[in-house]
Structure 1
Amino acid sequence: MSMSRRSFLRRTGAAAGAVAASSLIPGVGRAEPGAASSANTAGTTLEQVGVGGRANAKGYRKLVAGKGWPLYIREELATAKSGRDNRRTAVGSFVQLTDIHITDVQSPARFEYVHPIQGPAFRPQESLGTQAGVALVNRINALARGPFTGRAFDCVVSTGDNTDNHEIVELGWYQHLLSGGSITANTGSKTKFEGVQALGSAEYYRPELDFPDIYKDRGFPTIPGMLHAAIRTHVSPGLKTPWYSVFGNHDDQLLGTVPNGIVDWLYLSDVKYDLPGTDPTAVAIGRALGSDPSAVPGLLATLRRTGPVLPATRDLRRRPYTAQEFVRKHFDPAITGPGPVGHGFSDPDGPTWYRFQIAPGLVGIAMNTTNSMGIADGSISEKQLAWIERQISSHSDQLVMVFSHHTSQTMTAKLPNPETPGEATFDGTHLVERLKSHTNVIAWVNGHTHKNQIFAHKGSTPKHSFWEINTASHIDFPQLARIIEVADNKDGTLSIFTPLIEADSPYTADTSDLSQKGLASLYRELAFNDIHADPALLGVPSDRNCELILTHPLR
């Protein structure tokens, strides 16, 4: 049974963490003094958020607790009416994870050496991804319910790039992270770390070596034992709520952009490449990954002759998986956890898209927007789009939210998709127009950009309008997830609340603490200081903690 916001606050006594910001962004939204003062803001970015402290002599900054972000009320699609705080009842409440990028950092099928050209090819924190993931699971379990409605989380939805490099071992780690169990984030040698952070050149952050590198030149600490701790077995409690998976481009292809099959031999290679970013072949590969993946095999053949290379113990668990295998693995009884069976997918041999019931009266539709042509950006197939529209129409008496990995603006891959031969493909602009043709779609939730952004899509009438909610990743700083709460304001409008949350680990990392939680703190601090870190991924304040107002389409 849903409860009103007032009754939730009366029962919990939660009134801490009032936001005292006041500002106006014309045409976007407003932050009102005390707008979130009656919400249970504890554990969210409404209460506090990690920010950089004082820099050391080389510029490295420890993280400290900073002031929480304000709540922005956005009225592009409908006007917020007074008194709604005391009238509203909860419709649904869930958590969105996105772009976790669980990574086999020792895999030969990686291109770390191009990071001076393609920054995401190497991240100083990436070896600690599973420990950081557990800290995020702990945060979600501890919160348990939405701060504005008090409704217990109906589910958790991970909107793609669950794995980084399309490996079967990464998929297993991701699934045990969410369902619970032991995780040993190690491949190759059972006794030593064989990644570039242990054996590579000074182009990488080498935490255990007391030698300079381009990261220590910027104040990164030497941390004896960090990599050995990273590959120790640790345990995830698993989520306490049902969870669902959405397919992303990194779940579909090597690096999320290299067509399947053309360099699959890399996964089981016995060497890793180690080149400075100034090498002309490395530069050419970096550029090809972004513009012409078909050129990569020939360039790799050149590297195999010229080197230098690092030893890599072969490991069959690194093999790439197919899209159908991704679906099938979600039916493995060992990773069922709180369910549901299949985690949304309707059949072990079925499609990579599905419908699910978020809450009574609220339907979710998970889309597959990847294009396997070797393109990072996405598209939607003709058959899938027709199915989506049938689902929306057949549930016209319910509110609908759609989920995908790509955003409307990053669905530009209109080339034919090898996975859907003979079918037309459509871009994000077309999909937006099709969604606006229905009156019961209220939101599109997605990831991919690693940036917080929220767009208002205004239709021909208020009831043909919806919000697009894009959330930052958990691999790059600011490393967030998002609570999404839907509330009926009982005045002809809905509110969608979008408070962001951080993982449950101390802001300030202790380099001597190599426990599971200590490594999660290091993950966040190293990401904040990454030489490729992009502050723009935070988004503007009105893309973070929001109350999104829209006309209730069923009233």
Structure 2
Amino acid sequence: MAGLSRRQFLARTALLAAATGVSFDRLGPLLHAGSVRAASAVDVPTTLAQTILQGGVQKGRYRTLVTGPGEPYIPRLDVLRATANPDRAAARRSLLYLGHLSDLHVIDAQSPGRIEPMIVQDHSAWGSAFHPQDPMSVHTTAAMVRAFSDARYSPLTGAPMSAAIVTGDSADMHSHLELRWYIDLMDGLTVNPASAGATYQGVQAWAEAVWAYRPKDPAGGAFGEYGFPTLPSLLAEAIATPVPSVGLPAPWYAVYGNHDTLLLGTFDLSPPLHALAIGGRKSYTLEATAGSVLAGYAATGSALQQAGDALGLALGRSGFRSVPANPARRLFEQREFMAEHFRTEPTPGPVGHGFTQRNLDTGETWWKTDLSPHVRAFGLDTCNQVAGPDGAVPDTQFRWLEKELEQAQAEQKLALIFSHHNSLTLENRAQRPGETEVLHGAEEFIDLLLRFPVVVGWLNGHTHLNQILAHTSSSGGFWEITTASCIDFPQQQQVVEIVDNRDGTLSLFTTVLDHASPAVPGTGGSSADLAARSREFAANDWAESPDMRRGSPLDRNTELLLKAPFDLSRITDAALEAQHMTERARIVAYEDRIDA
């Protein structure tokens, strides 16, 4: 099939120059060169070239990290269930190149609204309440955004990034400040992590919190016994300098995660917690935390009881220290999560990041959008608003998606499903008294998706590990792709590319990204060094199995083959070239901004 004619190319270049503000004389040669480059792979820093692995023990049981060899793509035929065409690589063309982020867990570690001492009760059960790397979450997220910027052209085909999706758990502790930090980092703004002023105020700086990792002197607690290093300046470095972000190189979209819905992704928000979050007292003992925060959940619910809980905070209890209050730490309500996505930069956009005015007006928390003329995305809210970290699909969303997929099938649009929860965590049917809406679990949801051959992928997170599952029926199937997180090792995310093999099959290529920081952290206190230190700390979480979260080689760099759901030749080369020109022009404008 022929691409654009010279006249069409020039006309489209003129339109894109006007839209992006890049001069025609500069944009034209770049778009022409990009068309050539899109036919072949480019040099992109991904785990195809290098991996980061656990190294040897340095002290006690504490390990540092080392670089390892890259990992090539591994073909998977679980859905295709046929021999792949050995000549497909020479014929393939890119239909969509997509960034996938999940479980960023941006953390204001100095917030009084955190319940870190709960880890004392049970490290395994409450490990997400406290991590040694919490103060470096902003630096880690900025380094991950840099990795997506570095990978803005596909390492496989050279195609430009079309879009990016964030599949939930962005604000770790429901803090408005964390929510703003995450959006600003995606948008390319600078974030100031010094939420309590020039001196770090939190459990990791306090000698009384012997249960925590205290980098100035880890002795006397479990982290010191494990072998965590003494780093006297670490906390000061973590808040010393505002953290810049290059921003994502393509339009990005978002869905809810359980941490964006409930306290620690598990509990409803109580009046005492609302008061604690914006107040000037922070707990450092289990007793203080349980007595002042969790007691609210056992309260009668009366106004008198709630006032008493709040008054107890105001008068003070043992196990608290005074800290600077910050009203920006207020806990956001459900619709505010959507509303904050409208307070965003015009580029990379879009305003709302998937959410629309209809979402704000109705309270619906799910959406659809076309990522390209040929690929339609559906963003779902699988979070349970009552209790529990796992989720389900409410019947209202289930029926909406069913109708939308019928339309996508009729229009011959490839469909991607985005949600926070995956098929292993979609069975939470908790409801309040009197609620009657059916909540669909994984089996029903998978059966729904299998009815529509245009569904080629379901991208999600939640379990903080790389995992790829095949879902099949007698006529075909789709791929479920779960990415890891930015808080737990290996602190990886991924890019996904849909490729037409021009032989009646599609391939979804998954490529894992490490964030843009060295395997061995430096000592200069730079943002990249702090991100590297965060990854090293995460690799030493003894209550977990950090290396397990990498997944197997079949869950990382893969080629996931499946049968094309319709004749893909209806997508002409000219239409595809026009799509890539638009995406490439947008990236050229992005490169001009970050260079400036």
* TM-score normalised by the chain length of structure 2: 0.80
Aligned to 1:103: 107
Contact 1:226-1:514 within 8 A present in 2 as well? yes
Contact 2:292-2:309 within 8 A present in 1 as well? no
- Amino acid in the other structure paired with 2:65: L
Whole-Å separation in 2 of the counterparts to 1:170 and 1:361: 35
Aligned to 1:157: 165
Superposed, 1:134-213 pairs within 5 Å as: 134-187=142-195, 189-199=196-206, 200-209=208-217, 211-213=219-221
Alpha-carbon spacing, 1:293–1:502, altered in 2? closer, same or farther (3 Å): farther
Residue 267 of structure 2 is aligned to residue 258 of structure 1 = yes
Contact 1:446-1:470 within 8 A present in 2 as well? yes
Aligned to 1:384: 397
Contact 2:142-2:243 within 8 A present in 1 as well? no
- Amino acid in the other structure paired with 2:64: K
- Amino acid in the other structure paired with 1:329: E
Contact 1:487-1:495 within 8 A present in 2 as well? yes
The share of aligned pairs that are identical, in percent, is 33
Q: Alpha-carbon deviations, 1:19-43, whole Å to 9, x = none? A: xxxxxxxxxxxxxxxxxxx854641
Shift of 1:217: 2.4
Shift of 1:460: 3.5
Aligned to 2:580: none
Aligned to 1:364: 377
Shift of 1:212: 4.5
Contact 2:38-2:159 within 8 A present in 1 as well? no
Aligned to 1:119: 127
- Amino acid in the other structure paired with 2:487: I
Whole-Å separation in 2 of the counterparts to 1:115 and 1:83: 54
- Amino acid in the other structure paired with 1:94: L
Aligned to 1:540: 552
Structure 1 gap segments, 5+ residues each: 15-37
Superposed, 1:6-405 pairs within 5 Å as: 39-40=41-42, 42-78=44-80, 79=82, 80-116=84-120, 117=122, 118-187=126-195, 189-199=196-206, 200-209=208-217, 211-231=219-239, 232-261=241-270, 263-275=273-285, 307-333=318-344, 335-347=345-357, 348-350=360-362, 351-396=364-409, 397-405=412-420
Contact 1:417-1:425 within 8 A present in 2 as well? no
Aligned to 2:422: 407
Shift of 1:487: 0.6
Contact 1:527-1:533 within 8 A present in 2 as well? no
Whole-Å separation in 2 of the counterparts to 1:45 and 1:293: 45
Whole-Å separation in 2 of the counterparts to 1:301 and 1:52: 46
1:448 aligned to which of 462, 465, 473: 462
Alpha-carbon spacing, 1:469–1:417, altered in 2? closer, same or farther (3 Å): farther
Structure 2 gap segments, 5+ residues each: 4-31, 568-596
Whole-Å separation in 1 of the counterparts to 2:2 and 2:370: 16
The root-mean-square deviation of aligned C-alpha atoms, in Å, is 3.2
Alpha-carbon spacing, 1:196–1:95, altered in 2? closer, same or farther (3 Å): same
Aligned to 2:534: 523
Shift of 1:238: 1.2
Superposed, 1:440-479 pairs within 5 Å as: 440-462=454-476, 465-479=477-491
Aligned to 2:592: none
Contact 2:44-2:150 within 8 A present in 1 as well? no
Contact 1:327-1:342 within 8 A present in 2 as well? yes
Whole-Å separation in 1 of the counterparts to 2:268 and 2:59: 44
SS of 2:369 mapped into structure 1: strand
Aligned to 2:509: 497
Contact 2:285-2:319 within 8 A present in 1 as well? yes
Contact 1:181-1:238 within 8 A present in 2 as well? yes
Q: Alpha-carbon deviations, 1:137-170, whole Å to 9, x = none? A: 1111122122223211101111000110111110
- Amino acid in the other structure paired with 2:399: A
Shift of 1:176: 0.7
Contact 1:124-1:205 within 8 A present in 2 as well? yes
Whole-Å separation in 1 of the counterparts to 2:485 and 2:367: 23
Contact 1:2-1:151 within 8 A present in 2 as well? no
Whole-Å separation in 2 of the counterparts to 1:110 and 1:439: 44
Alpha-carbon spacing, 1:545–1:92, altered in 2? closer, same or farther (3 Å): same
Contact 2:38-2:158 within 8 A present in 1 as well? no
Whole-Å separation in 2 of the counterparts to 1:296 and 1:252: 23
Contact 2:41-2:154 within 8 A present in 1 as well? no
- Amino acid in the other structure paired with 2:266: T
Aligned to 1:432: 446
Q: Alpha-carbon deviations, 1:200-222, whole Å to 9, x = none? A: 51211111347543223222222
Name segments (4+ residues, structure 1) moved above 6 Å.
Answer: 7-10, 281-286, 295-298, 300-306
SS of 1:339 mapped into structure 2: coil
Whole-Å separation in 2 of the counterparts to 1:40 and 1:423: 49
Shift of 1:531: 3.1
Q: Which structure's residues are more often helix, by fraction?
A: 2
Alpha-carbon spacing, 1:294–1:238, altered in 2? closer, same or farther (3 Å): farther
Whole-Å separation in 2 of the counterparts to 1:417 and 1:440: 36
Whole-Å separation in 2 of the counterparts to 1:111 and 1:69: 39
Shift of 1:472: 0.8
Shift of 1:125: 0.7
Q: How many residues align?
A: 517
SS of 2:222 mapped into structure 1: coil
SS of 2:51 mapped into structure 1: strand
